[in-house]
Structure formats: structure tokens, C-alpha cells
């Protein structure tokens, strides 16, 4: 197969994954993202093709599908792979900035789902800041911000009430 055909097939599968994710077909979305990554791995490394960037796009969507399916460990692993790429690129104003924000959002949801509320709260706050700093157009920006703020508010109440492991009040040291 010629690399151009492979690239087209990989992007077609990525597009199907994004459409399935938007339409709530999460298992189909996960399958499409996995197929996109499988096809893209057949593109020779010496081709002028950003393999890591494409995988980051796929892993972002895959993490969203996994969160929706309740597979939080898998979602966290995919979000971390995507964030490894996006954190090095660091550009919120480009088109990839939307995917970076989504990767952080899905990571926050995965952390919350795995029972790590302190880390989830920190990630949700980061998403809120990223959305506020993004200058380029983002679909459903207000809705995403509303959802993130709801999570921040619900996690803030539960996290602030808990004391760190090994915590002792000041008077317990003198007893």
C-alpha cells in the first residue's frame, strides 16, 4: 500500500472515531481510534508524517470514549500518552489546542473515576484555565466550561474536607 493511501485511511478512521464520539457511540469510537492508530503504524517511519502527533489525536478521542464507557484506567493511560505530546508542543491557539484541552479534561474525568479526587480537581482547574486562555474558536466552549466548573465545585467540597494521610492537629503533638 502506498503511504498516501495509508494516511487517507488513518485519517478516515480518525474522523469516524470523532463522529462516533460526538454521537454517543463510544464502543464504535474506540474501535475507530484503535483502527486509525493501527493503520498509521503501517506508514514507514522515514515518511514525512507526524506519527506521534497523529497518535496523540487518536489517544485523546480514545480516552474520551473510555471515560464514557467507564474504563477509567484505560482512559487515563490514553490521556497521558496524548498529553505527553501536547505538553511538549504547548500551543493552545492552534487547532491542536482543542485536543490538548480535551486530553486534560478526559484525564481529569479518568482521575476522578479511579478515585483520585485531589489530582482530578487539579486537572479540572487546569482545563478551566486552558479554556479561558484559548483565543481561537472552540465549539461548545461555554458548555464545556460549565461542565468543568460543576466538577470543580463538587470536588472542592469533598477534597477540602479530607485531611492528608498522617495528618495530626497541632494539639495532638503535645498529648
> What are the structural domain ranges in the chain?
3-161
Task: Look at residue 138 in the predicted model and tell me its pLDDT.
Answer: 78
Rounded Cα distance, 59 and 37, in Å: 9
- In sequence order, what E strands does 43-104 have? none
Rounded Cα distance, 86 and 52, in Å: 10
Question: 23-68: per-residue pLDDT in tens?
Answer: 999 999 999 999 999 999 998 888 888 889 999 999 999 999 999 9
Angle 107-153-70 from CA coordinates, rounded to 5°: 35
Taking every pair of C-alpha atoms in the chain, what is the biggest distance, in angstroms? 76
Rounded Cα distance, 113 and 107, in Å: 10
pLDDT band at 162 (very low <50, low <70, confident <90, very high): low
Averaged pLDDT of the chain: 87
Rounded Cα distance, 150 and 19, in Å: 26
Does residue 175 have a pLDDT over 50?
no
Q: Is 163 or 41 the better-scoring residue by pLDDT?
A: 41
Q: What is the mean pLDDT of residues 80-109?
A: 87
Rounded Cα distance, 3 and 44, in Å: 7
Cell numbers at residue 110, please? 479518568
Task: Look at residue 61 in the predicted model and tell me its pLDDT.
Answer: 97
Domain 3-161 sits in CATH 1.25.40.10? yes
Task: Look at residue 132 in the predicted model and tell me its pLDDT.
Answer: 86
Q: Which DSSP letter does residue 92 get?
A: S
Percent with pLDDT over 90 in the chain: 61
Task: Look at residue 84 in the predicted model and tell me its pLDDT.
Answer: 93
Amino acid at each position: 500500500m502506498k503511504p498516501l493511501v495509508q494516511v487517507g485511511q488513518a485519517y478516515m478512521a480518525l474522523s469516524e472515531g470523532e463522529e462516533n464520539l460526538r454521537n454517543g457511540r463510544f464502543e464504535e469510537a474506540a474501535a475507530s481510534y484503535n483502527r486509525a492508530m493501527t493503520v498509521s503504524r503501517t506508514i514507514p517511519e522515514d515518511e514525512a508524517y507526524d506519527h506521534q502527533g497523529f497518535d496523540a489525536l487518536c489517544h485523546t478521542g480514545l480516552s474520551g470514549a473510555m471515560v464514557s464507557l467507564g474504563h477509567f484506567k484505560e482512559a487515563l493511560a490514553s490521556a497521558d500518552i496524548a498529553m505527553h505530546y501536547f505538553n511538549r508542543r504547548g500551543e493552545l491557539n492552534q487547532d491542536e489546542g482543542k485536543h490538548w484541552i480535551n486530553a486534560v479534561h478526559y484525564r481529569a474525568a479518568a482521575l476522578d473515576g479511579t478515585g483520585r479526587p485531589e489530582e482530578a480537581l487539579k486537572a479540572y482547574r487546569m482545563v478551566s484555565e486552558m479554556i479561558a486562555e484559548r483565543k481561537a474558536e472552540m465549539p461548545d466552549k461555554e458548555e464545556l466550561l460549565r461542565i468543568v466548573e460543576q466538577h470543580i465545585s463538587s470536588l472542592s467540597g469533598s477534597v477540602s474536607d479530607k485531611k492528608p494521610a498522617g495528618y495530626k492537629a497541632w494539639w495532638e503533638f503535645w498529648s
